[in-house]
Every structure is written in structure tokens, then in C-alpha cells.
Structure 1
Amino acid sequence: MTPKFLQDSLVESRREFTGEARSEAAPPVKSLLQAMSVADRRQLEALVRADLSAAVRGDAGLPDLPNHVRQVLLPDCRSVAQQELEAGLFVAAGAAAQHLCFRVPADIARPARVIRGVEPGCAPDFLPTVHLEPFALGPLLFELLPRSLDDDEVSGVPGVRYKQYQRSVVLFLADDPQARVSLAGVDRQHWKDAWTFAACSTGEPQSWFHRDERSKITRDEREYLDSHGRVLHSPPALGSALFRRAGLFRGLSELRVLGGPTEQRVIWSKGASCSDIASRLLHPLFGLPATYRKDILGSLSFAVLREDVEGVRATRLLLSRDESADAQLRDEFREQVHGWHQNPWRVWEQRRIKQITRRQTQQGRSLAEVRASYTGEELASAVKGITSSGQIGLDACSEAQREFQALLAVYLFNAGQTAAPPEQTRVHTLTAYNLTVSPRHDELVISTNAPDNLVNWLVPRPSSSCGVPGMRVRSWPNDGTFRLVHLPTGGQITVTSREERDVDSVGDEQRLARDWFTSDRDVTRREHTALAAIPPMSPGITRLLSALVVRICAKHPQHKWALGTWSWDPLKRGKEPGGGSPGDFGGVERYLWGAHDDWELRWDGYPFPSDVAAALTDTVVGLDGVQVTGTDTAFTITLEDATIRVQHWSTLPSTGWEDEQ
């Protein structure tokens, strides 16, 4: 076996357990191989030949590797204080994963990961460095840093303090500063953002001990330590060993870490089987310390490992994949999602928005330029949409305008053989044109290369069934600008081929040039009947449908998502949603229908469903308070008590509105 092959095999096996980068795992393995005796090397080669991916400690034919070799390959902690700190981090990471499920787009089934990898460190102290997943620092601080509760209890890990460096943070114990763990890649701004989340998560002012004593342990913490110990839910040595093997637990859904002084329980609902995880933890090279043996092994949903030390009370590790708890967890999750206004992620998101806009302004970009980079508006048009309080303003419209825009959504998002009745008006044809939408407080300005054609589809005429019932031409200032008003709601649209002018009059000769209904004509009986057939909408649904309309042609400035008027892909990704090639779909198919606070939206072709979710939850132009839960192609949009069930037609059998009546 060549030295290069042996080294690469060991490095890749270690990375599976620790989650490290290759550059972090390779040096200690290389040093070990260079200093290893011939006998130890032969034993190591025999283990590698035995297929490390399937090896389990105690298997017949596997040689016993000396403990000093294992301790270099993946060292375990021996200091009690260090074990307590690392076990506390492991328990806190398990609890923090639940918080990440509420981050936009909220999804209880998402593998919410806190720890990306752990570098066990180098001799002589082997102090670890932790690499966190994005967004994980705030929830981790909330679960880890000690604070007082109303009933004289202590939440978090007593004695934990921190020291900030330029690009990292070192966590340590105030009563034993030699116990330390480094958090890599955490600068001052990252820490400040994370602390915003942690402080808001408490819901009310509480005493954080690290603020009272930065380097000493408080009296309350000392009393709690004396009566309960530092870590309630984990045996320190076992919790520390699992922490250093955190890479094994990535990808497990709804991970929870529970236990007591002599028992550790790790529970999840989806992911690898218990027998798989248990087998990896008994790996002859990188598994738990050699004192652990299998107790119950081989079950998909349950496994037990036991420490076998003579004269010492056995410590047990219980692994459980509990799929029966999945439904209950999802119900609890939905209830909490509806309480989004209390969710600390909202405060965190608002802080990020302010930082983004502040940074862009400092770089010479105004708020209007930021808005225009998403909407495609001319800068002069974007300026008119910015609110007086300095907000982007996509959803800051009057109630009358919002009601009209929600109604317009019903006409835009019904098309084809599977559509609801509003499809007959053919208003959805607007989305085939090249549009730029500029939402204002009391009107929707649409710029296009064919304004008179758009008016043909929007405004009813005596000889046509097209148009939004109740829509009228209010004025026609010039050949390229048309001002429309919706009589029943009072909502307004300006359709223009150029920068709109503040003109509010129309000449008779222009009015007679077309047979559009004008604002001096009352709503007809036929229009009243059509409008009465539109289902009622709750305030939340009204906001959601209006938000879809004003973002109908929005695009992320860094090309992360694009809606393309629901007819094409501005990012030119070379494929259709659902996996087809561009042009695979025939006619346009869209379906939007429901009642009160429960609606359904389906379509084929563009846009990608994930782009719709991203547009509504974007940190800069997203709709405030919205939640998205589900998969990339089938999800639920939630706002207050309102929900829209979204599904792309590529994942559905062909069913239409008529079949559901």
C-alpha cells in the first residue's frame, strides 16, 4: 500500500467524522504516518484494507490498534472542564437546530445544521476549533450563554464566557479558563448580528451573566453548579466525544440532544438509520473511545452503545430515529409559524436589511437604486415608490390599491384549460409582454413597449369579453400613456411607454379613437355578476396576492432568482421548471382559486417555484412577515392566518378547476 493511498484514505475517513476541510485533516495524519513504527503501520494498513467504511470495533479479524495511534488520528479530550464545555456546546447545538427551522423560508423538515465541522486541535492541548453553518451563531449563543430565569434557574452552560478577536471568538469557562473552544470566522459584525437574535429570543429582559461578570463566575452560577452540575443533558466525556464527531450528525432532521449524568440520548426523525450511526461511532479508528461497545445494534430506529469500564457505573448512548413524532412536531411548528411577529428572526432580518441598505448607500447607492436593481425601474420611477419613512415601498400602498392588485392577481394567474373562470377575460395575456412594474402608494405603473395593447387586455369593450370587470380609461394624456381606474375598488394603473407625465385630462378626439369603456361609464350588470363570483379574500390573502403582482417581473441583482413575468427565465438557466428543456411546455396553464384565508396556486412553465418563494422572502424586497414551508416545488405561503398552497404542475396529475367543483 503506497503512503499516498494510506494517507488519503485516513484523511477522508476522518473528515466524515469531524466535518473538517481536507486542508485541516491532512497535517495530523501526515505527521502520524511519518513518526509511526513499522508494527503500528502494518496494523493500520490491515484496517484500511478491511474497508474502513464498514468496519465496526470488535469485528472478527480486525486488529486492535494502540490507543496512542487513535488519539493522534482523532484525539479525545481528557480534562473534565474541557469535556464539560464541549458537551455543553453539543447539547446547545442540538437545541439551536430547532431555531434554524424558523428562518425564512421556515421548514421543519429542513436538515437544520449548526456545526459544519470541528477541528480537534493539535498537541499538546488539542483544543478544538468549530466551524459553524451560516445563520447558526445566534441560536447557538441563545442556547449556550448562561442567563437567569424567573424561578432562580440558570439557562445555558454556567460559567461560559467569550473573548472577541478580529476573525474569531474564543469561548472559555470563567472558573477554569484553560477550557477553551474557538469559533472560526466570527468577526465583530457577525457577533453583533448574532447577539441581536439571542437577546430578542428571550422575549423579555433577562440577566445574562457574561454581562455582569466577563471573567468571573457569578454567585448564582456557582450555586447552580454546586446543585446541578454544569451540563444537565449529557455525560461530559461522552458529550465531548460526540461533539468532536459532529460531522456524523449532519443531514439529520429534527435533531434533539437529551439525557442526564450517565445517559445521552440523540433523537432525530429523518436521515440515516440508528444502526448506521451506531456502527460509525464504533469505527475502529475514528469512533468513540475504545471503552464503548455495542449493547443493542442493528435496528433502523433504535440502538444503544454502552461504556464498558470495570468498577465504574456504565454510561449509555441511546440513538433513536422517531418518525412517529414527526406529525406532532409539524403541528407545533405550524402554530409557531403563525406567531411570526414574535419570532426573533424577524428582528434579525430587519437588522440585515438596514445593514445592506446602509452599506449600499455608503457605496454611493441610494435606496432608490437598490429598489431599481430588483424591479428594473428607471431611477426616477423608483424614487417615486420610496416611502416617506425610507422603506423600499413595494407593498406600501393604500388599502384600495391593495384590494385592486389582489383582484388583478386572480385574472393574471388563471390561464389555459385548467384555469378558474376569470381565465375567460384573457387578462393573463399581459404576462407575454415585456413589462416593468413600478408600484406606488395609490397606483401601479406599468412600462411596456406596447401600451395600447396592454390597455386592450385590461379594459372591457362593448364588443369583447376581455378585460378586468370594472376597469376604465380615466385619461389618455398622450399616444403612449394611459391612466386607468378600477371603479369598484378605486385602484389605479398607469400604462406607459415612457416616463409618465402628471397630466389628468383627456381630449374628446382621443377618447373616440377607441371603444374602451371610460370612467364616465358605470359598472355594467355583467361586470357586477363577474365580480360577485370572485371568492372573498381575508386581509392576509389580499396582501399575499398583491405582493405577487407587484413582484411579477422582479429579479435579484446577483441573479439568485427571477420571476420573468411568469413567462420566461431572465437568468437563462437552459431548463424548464420540472426538468424539461425550454419550449417543452405547450400553452400557458395557471390556476389560482380559493376563499377567505385558504387559496391554491398552480402553474406550469416559468417561473421556477423556488424563485417565487425567494422573491417573497428576500431580505431586501420580501413581504414582511411571510413564511414559506415545504419543498422546492410544493410549498405553503403563510402570512398571519392566511395560506396559499403552491405547487408546480410538473409534480401534479393533470387536474383542473372543473374537476374540483
Structure 2
Amino acid sequence: MTLNKDIAKLAHRIRRESGDVIPFQQARLTASGQLGALPVHTIAPQERIPLRVEYTGESDAAAQSAIDHDTHGLGLDHCSDDQRAFRALLALALFNGNVYTGPTARWNYAVVASYDPVMSPRRDQLVMVAERAPDNVATRLLATEGAGSRGMPGLRHEVSYACHGQRSLCLRHLPTGALLTITGDPDGCPRGNKRSLGPRHRYLTIDHHVTEHERRALAAIPPLSHDATALLAGLVSRYNLVDRRGRWATSLSWDPLERPGAEHRREPDVRLHGAVRRLWGSGDSWAFRWTGYPEPYDLAMALTHREVGIKGARLTHHGGAFRVTLGTASLELSDEKG
């Protein structure tokens, strides 16, 4: 059934349930909103907050911190250029790992998937809600004194604090100036007047300059075009989404929708050795191939969806592979075997 038919069917039901009090055009507008057929920018900011929550799994307070009167869409991609560049770099860490041993896979970020964090992208920072263990996640991301090459080059501990009884760690990426907050607080609250805490580990702090080793590590990363940067940053913002109509989900560790047949993503090799992920390319051309979750279709839909996708992104597919384009850039999505 086409979307227009879905809208008409729901509109008739809404009108019928109102005792024919609601005019059909008003019922159709309501139905269009419920079925995701209205452009998000036409929806009032306060109404976008619960819509965003349906997809991201954030708390209402966290989503409210990300949306105001001039936020574009649901705010997943509305950020500074420096923040976008950082997220693209973070994508090369989060989406590379296991037997693939490329430069960014060595940063040891892929294991973050096991904590199933909720991403809360903001205009001036990225908030990662890891209720289970924010400090454990931070130890995966940050280099410590004498730890060699582990961690994202140039990422530093800035401050730790407590909010609602939960720990939060603010990390600063020196090359871009971008802020990443890892928190156990579902509301992802700002620091404000909260109680400051000392770090539990000997992380490198903002007082430690970028080392020569880190400069070489960053130089080993291929160049990213403007449009490719937006695509890769979009992967991070959509790291753990669930379609509000139950058609797709992007978790890297399991299927939140528990769909029949999705269990095949956990085939014996994945169960025994973990998922293999490889995100690589150069300039405008990039490809992500992996085993385990999610389905390539699911990730492709999240990037191009009418409500929660990247503005201007388009989708094509051939066989089991999907191609997302944005401007001059492309991102191929497929199973590692494909």
C-alpha cells in the first residue's frame, strides 16, 4: 500500500473516531504527521522533541537540549563544522575493528558497541549516554599516560562531574576543538553547578599537547571531501536509532525490534570472534562493509529517511549492497561477504 493510501485510510479512521466532527483535511494533516509524511521543518520545535525521542531513545530532557527555534530538522546533523569533522573522524574509529587492522581500528573504539550507547547529538557537542559504565567507555576512547597509541589521537580529558548521581566525563578533541561528553545520566544534563570529580584513571588531559605520534596517526587518514564528511558524521549521529514505525534499527550489537530472521546476523563466526567492520575510502568515495548487526538496508534507511535522514541524501541499491549519495560523495553499504 502506498503512503498516500496509508494516509487516506488513517484519516478516515481519525474522522470516524471523532464522530465525523474533525474535517477530512484536518484528519489528513494529522494522519500525515503520524505517518511521517510531513516535512520535519514544518513541525514546531516543541513537537519535534518527542518525534526525535521516538527515533533516538533519548530522554525528553536530552532531546530538548538539542532542539530550539532555529534547529534544522531533528538536529542530528545541525552542528558546527569542527563538530562535524570530529564526528567523521569518530566514525572511522567506531566503524572499524576486529580482524581489520587499518590505522583507525587500532584506536580500539569498535568495542564501544558492546555498551549499546545512546547518541545525543547537539549543536556544540556530541553526548554519548552510556548508563552502564561511562568510565569504562571513556577508558576505551582516551589514551592514558604511557598507553602508547590507544585512543583517538588528540582526544583529551577536560573535566569529570556528577549529575543526578551519575558520572559524566567531558572530553576535548584538540585538533578540532570539538567536545564529546560521555555520561551515565540519561538526561545528559549540562555541567552547570554540578559537583566536579577527579578522573578515575590517568587520562591524558587538555594540558597535554598533541604528540608527534598522534600527528602521524592523523596524517595516515585519507582526505575527506565536504560531502563525505557529512555522510560519515551522519553515521555517528545515527549510531543507535530505531524506526518509530518498526521497520529498521541501526544498533551494532543487537536487533532492538527483535524481528524474526534477524538472528542470522549473529552467525557462528560473529558469536565466536565478534563482528568485523571496515569503513574506508578517500575523498568523495567511501565504503562500509561488516558482519553482524545491523542489516545494510537498515543503516541505508536511517541515512536517507524522510524524517531522520541526512538532508539531500539519496539511496540506490543493487543486490544486497546499498549506495547513499550526498552531493558528489557516496557511501557503499554491504555485508563483508558481499
TM norm. shorter chain > 0.5: yes
CA pair 510-572 structure 1, distance change in 2 beyond 3 A: same
Equivalent residues of 2:242, 2:250 under 8 A apart: yes
The Cα shift of 1:628 comes to 1.2
Among 50, 62, 69, which residue is 1:369 paired with?
A: 50
1:592 aligns with 2:292: no
Name the counterpart of 1:457: 140
CA pair 136-519 structure 1, distance change in 2 beyond 3 A: same
Name the counterpart of 1:640: 327
Equivalence map 1:488-567=2 (5 Å): 488-498=175-185, 499=187, 500-503=189-192, 510-511=198-199, 513-564=200-251, 566-567=252-253
Equivalent residues of 1:626, 1:638 under 8 A apart: yes
Secondary structure, counterpart of 2:275 in structure 1: coil
Q: Distance in 2 between matches of 1:476 and 1:355?
A: 36
Could you tell me which amino acid in structure 2 is paired with residue 454 of structure 1? V
Larger CA Rg, structure 1 vs 2: 1
CA pair 425-136 structure 1, distance change in 2 beyond 3 A: same
CA pair 615-528 structure 1, distance change in 2 beyond 3 A: same
Equivalent residues of 1:375, 1:553 under 8 A apart: yes
Name the counterpart of 1:422: 104
Equivalent residues of 1:575, 1:581 under 8 A apart: no
Deviation digits for residues 125-167 of structure 1 (CA, Å, limit 9, x no counterpart): xxxxxxxx72699xxxxxxxxxxxxxxxxxxxxxxxxxxxx99
How many residues are paired up? Answer: 307
The Cα shift of 1:633 comes to 2.4
Secondary structure, counterpart of 2:39 in structure 1: helix
**Where in structure 2 are there 5+ consecutive unaligned residues?**
6-10, 13-23, 30-34
CA pair 378-581 structure 1, distance change in 2 beyond 3 A: closer
Deviation digits for residues 529-588 of structure 1 (CA, Å, limit 9, x no counterpart): 100101110010010001100110011122111111x121111124348x5665552322
Name the counterpart of 1:569: 255
Equivalent residues of 2:314, 2:324 under 8 A apart: yes
After the TM superposition, list the runs of 4 or more consecutive aligned residues in structure 1 that deviate by more than 3 angstroms. 187-192, 354-358, 503-507, 574-577, 579-584
The Cα shift of 1:640 comes to 0.1
CA pair 620-136 structure 1, distance change in 2 beyond 3 A: closer
- Percent identical pairs in the alignment equals 34
Q: Distance in 1 between matches of 2:129 and 2:76?
A: 16
Deviation digits for residues 181-207 of structure 1 (CA, Å, limit 9, x no counterpart): xxxxxx868999xxxxxxxxxxxxxxx
Equivalent residues of 1:625, 1:639 under 8 A apart: yes
CA pair 190-378 structure 1, distance change in 2 beyond 3 A: closer
Q: Distance in 1 between matches of 2:53 and 2:190?
A: 19
Name the counterpart of 2:2: 134
Deviation digits for residues 490-524 of structure 1 (CA, Å, limit 9, x no counterpart): 111111111324248996x824x421000111001
Higher relative contact order (CA 8 A, sep 6+): 2
Name the counterpart of 2:293: 606
Secondary structure, counterpart of 1:517 in structure 2: coil
Secondary structure, counterpart of 1:547 in structure 2: helix
CA pair 354-396 structure 1, distance change in 2 beyond 3 A: closer
Could you tell me which amino acid in structure 2 is paired with residue 352 of structure 1? L
The Cα shift of 1:355 comes to 9.4
The Cα shift of 1:434 comes to 2.7
Q: TM (normalized to structure 2)?
A: 0.82
The Cα shift of 1:351 comes to 6.9
Equivalent residues of 1:368, 1:386 under 8 A apart: yes
Q: Distance in 1 between matches of 2:195 and 2:206?
A: 11
Could you tell me which amino acid in structure 1 is paired with residue 85 of structure 2? E
Could you tell me which amino acid in structure 1 is paired with residue 322 of structure 2? F
Q: Distance in 1 between matches of 2:204 and 2:250?
A: 31
The Cα shift of 1:632 comes to 6.1
Q: Distance in 1 between matches of 2:175 and 2:286?
A: 23
Deviation digits for residues 76-113 of structure 1 (CA, Å, limit 9, x no counterpart): xxxxxxxxxxxxxxxxxxxxxxxxxxxxxxxxxxxxxx
Name the counterpart of 1:406: 88
Q: Distance in 1 between matches of 2:112 and 2:133?
A: 10
Q: Distance in 1 between matches of 2:43 and 2:67?
A: 13
The Cα shift of 1:406 comes to 0.3
Could you tell me which amino acid in structure 2 is paired with residue 460 of structure 1? A
**Where in structure 1 are there 5+ consecutive unaligned residues?**
1-132, 138-165, 168-186, 193-348, 652-661
